[in-house]
Chain A
Amino acid sequence: MARRSVQSLLVATFSLFLATFSTATYAQHDTAQHEATAEVSSHEKKEGEFNVTETILEHLKDDHSWHLWGHTSLPLPVILYSDKGLEVFSSANLVDEHHAPAVYNGNYAYKTIEGKIRVVNPDGAVNTELSAKVWDFSITKNVASLLLTVTILLLIFLSVASAYRKTGVKTAPKGLQSLMEPIILFVRDEVAKPNIGHRYAKYMPFLLTVFFLILINNFLGLVPFFPGGANVSGNIAFTMTLAVFVFLLVNFSGNKTYWEHIFWMPGMHWSMKLFLAPIELVGIFTKPISLMIRLFANITAGHILVLSLVCLIFIFKTVYASVVAVPFVVFISVIELLVAFLQAYIFTMLAAMYIGMATEEHHHEGDHEPHYNETDLEKVHH
């Protein structure tokens, strides 16, 4: 009950932030419209009209500064690599005193356009040719949030590990240790062991790291204000990275049977083998891709849902809409808490399953043989 009321409070605060922030975006767009008319064509909207899609996308997307409240944002370091070398500067340089995108003259003239840093010509137009040469390694909002997650994970688990070292194995776990141990055991007993089998111990560090990284990112994403609110696990770049790691791990630990089942399915007619090989080959890639999309889509969908419900207040332009919107937001947020855990679990479980499939030893080779052999044998016996 207490948690719920705290959450409603959080949601209420978040709506307040959103209210102030959305007015800020109006202001930004207004000035942008006056300054760069080239941009206006892409934002076809009347002055003062509330654009739900844009507001929501704004929150889902990565940003070069971390919005705190009202007109206050935390500037983050921008790291760019181009043919003129590496350069690092504060993202505060990319906005003017009215919080509108401004041109910063570094190695090139940079300007933030739709959240991305682009090279602009002196006349204000985007120079696509030069923009393609600039690699953006900035500490964006998502990267900062990710680094925070890494810090949290290190703090939690190094302290838990030291607790085990200090108290030994004979005493019952205490505090944080007792909170984490069941989850670690859950990953071991429900995820690793049933899917991988007796070789599970080798993959435990990977699975635990993936699980807790996704879990903490999901939870942080649900916190509506600084230092949460970034959409790391709902960002395709993050899920893609994790999926690539799963892909590499699965295929590097794949044994002979695994590859045999992909390229030359045993127990089939040769024509069937030829037919199955490309399908199985595609399957190698679709598995991690499904992991990538599943996590991205689930977390993003949750964020969109919560944001849409909050946006109801601004669509109806009355504070009374919050009577309906806020309870729904609370409800969805509680479900999102479950989804946060569930998605971390599903990602880890599927990863474990793929590893299990790649390392499985087939003792039942005979099962793949055509069955007429068996019936023939039976006839002989009879």
Chain B
Amino acid sequence: MLLEINPLVLPDIGLVFWSTIAFLVLLFVLGKFAWKPIMKAINEREKGIEDALAKADRVKAEMVALQSENEAMLAKAREERAILLKEAKETSDKILAEAKDKAKAEYDRIVADAQLAITQQKNAALTDVKNQVGALVVDVAEKVLRRELANKADQENYISELTKDVKLN
């Protein structure tokens, strides 16, 4: 038989026995003191790396969110500033316009007052002039009337003399 011819394919009980013992010892000792802690450590490290990566991603997302938030805030601030500026300008314009209006009104009032005063004074002056002219005329007429009675020539000289004195103010 072939099995009897070739010693290579005939297992020796001794080696089977020692292989079994060797394998069981290895399985037990390595399983308890090597594979278990090694696999545990590797798994822990992998989990740690995974966690760290996840955390990094999360932080990155947070950063992005924060940044966009910042940007939004900035944009809002800018907008607010623009609004404020616009409002300020509007207010100032309004104030300016109001002031202008007020000034114009005052000016108008003053002008009106002045005109009124001028008119009043002019009227008073005219009245005065009229009165004086009236009085003068009466006076001159009185003197002329008095002189007429004396001399005609003198009368006329006198009149011209009088008229010289008349100063129309």
* Physical interaction between A and B: yes
Binding site for B on A (CB under 8 A): 57, 60-62, 79, 114-116, 135-140, 142-143, 146-147, 149-150, 153-154, 157-158, 160-161, 164-165, 168-170, 181, 184-185, 188, 201, 204-206, 208-209, 213, 235-238, 240-242, 245, 296, 300
Please name all residues of chain B whose beta carbon is closer than 8 Å to the beta carbon of A147 when the two chains form the complex.
Answer: 18, 22
Complex Cα gap A135–B35 (Å): 35
Q: Establish whether residues B33 and A204, one from each chain, have CB atoms under 8 Å apart when the complex forms.
A: no
**B19 contacts which of A136, A205, A242, A296 (Cβ < 8 Å)?**
A242
Task: Give the residues from 15 to 49 in chain B that come closer than 8 angstroms, CB to CB, to chain A.
Answer: 15-20, 22-23, 25-27, 29-31, 33-39, 41-42, 44-45, 48
Q: A153-B26, A169-B44, A169-B48 are in contact. Are A137 and B34 (CB under 8 A)?
A: no
Q: Establish whether residues A154 and B15, one from each chain, have CB atoms under 8 Å apart when the complex forms.
A: no
Residue of A nearest to B31 (CB): A205
Is B161 among interface residues, defined by CB-CB distance under 8 A? Answer: no
Q: Establish whether residues B10 and A236, one from each chain, have CB atoms under 8 Å apart when the complex forms.
A: yes
**B26 contacts which of A140, A154, A240 (Cβ < 8 Å)?**
A154
Q: Establish whether residues A143 and B14, one from each chain, have CB atoms under 8 Å apart when the complex forms.
A: yes
Q: Establish whether residues B7 and A154, one from each chain, have CB atoms under 8 Å apart when the complex forms.
A: no
Q: Establish whether residues B39 and A204, one from each chain, have CB atoms under 8 Å apart when the complex forms.
A: yes
Complex Cα gap A135–B13 (Å): 7
Is B8 among interface residues, defined by CB-CB distance under 8 A? Answer: yes
Q: A138-B14, A236-B9, A236-B10 are in contact. Are A241 and B34 (CB under 8 A)?
A: no
* Other A-B pairs, 11, CB within 8 Å; known A137-B13, A160-B34: A57-B7, A135-B13, A136-B13, A136-B14, A140-B12, A140-B14, A146-B18, A154-B29, A158-B30, A164-B37, A164-B42
State the main secondary structure of chain A at its contact with B: helix
10 closest pairs, A vs B, by CB? A237-B11, A157-B34, A237-B15, A205-B31, A241-B19, A164-B41, A169-B45, A143-B18, A205-B35, A161-B34
Complex Cα gap A146–B22 (Å): 7
Q: Establish whether residues B19 and A209, one from each chain, have CB atoms under 8 Å apart when the complex forms.
A: no
Complex Cα gap A142–B26 (Å): 17
Q: How far is the CB of B1 from chain A (nearest CB, A)?
A: 16
Category for how many chain B residues contact A: 20 to 34
Q: Establish whether residues B15 and A143, one from each chain, have CB atoms under 8 Å apart when the complex forms.
A: yes
Please name all residues of chain A whose beta carbon is closer than 8 Å to the beta carbon of B48 when the two chains form the complex.
Answer: 169-170
**B35 contacts which of A137, A170, A209 (Cβ < 8 Å)?**
A209
Please name all residues of chain A whose beta carbon is closer than 8 Å to the beta carbon of B15 when the two chains form the complex.
Answer: 62, 140, 142-143, 146, 235, 237-238, 241
Q: How far is the CB of B87 from chain A (nearest CB, A)?
A: 59
Please name all residues of chain B whose beta carbon is closer than 8 Å to the beta carbon of A205 when the two chains form the complex.
Answer: 27, 30-31, 35-36
Complex Cα gap A364–B58 (Å): 39
Q: How far is the CB of B27 from chain A (nearest CB, A)?
A: 5
Q: A60-B8, A136-B14, A242-B19 are in contact. Are A206 and B27 (CB under 8 A)?
A: yes
**B7 contacts which of A114, A138, A160 (Cβ < 8 Å)?**
A114
Please name all residues of chain B whose beta carbon is closer than 8 Å to the beta carbon of A181 when the two chains form the complex.
Answer: 42
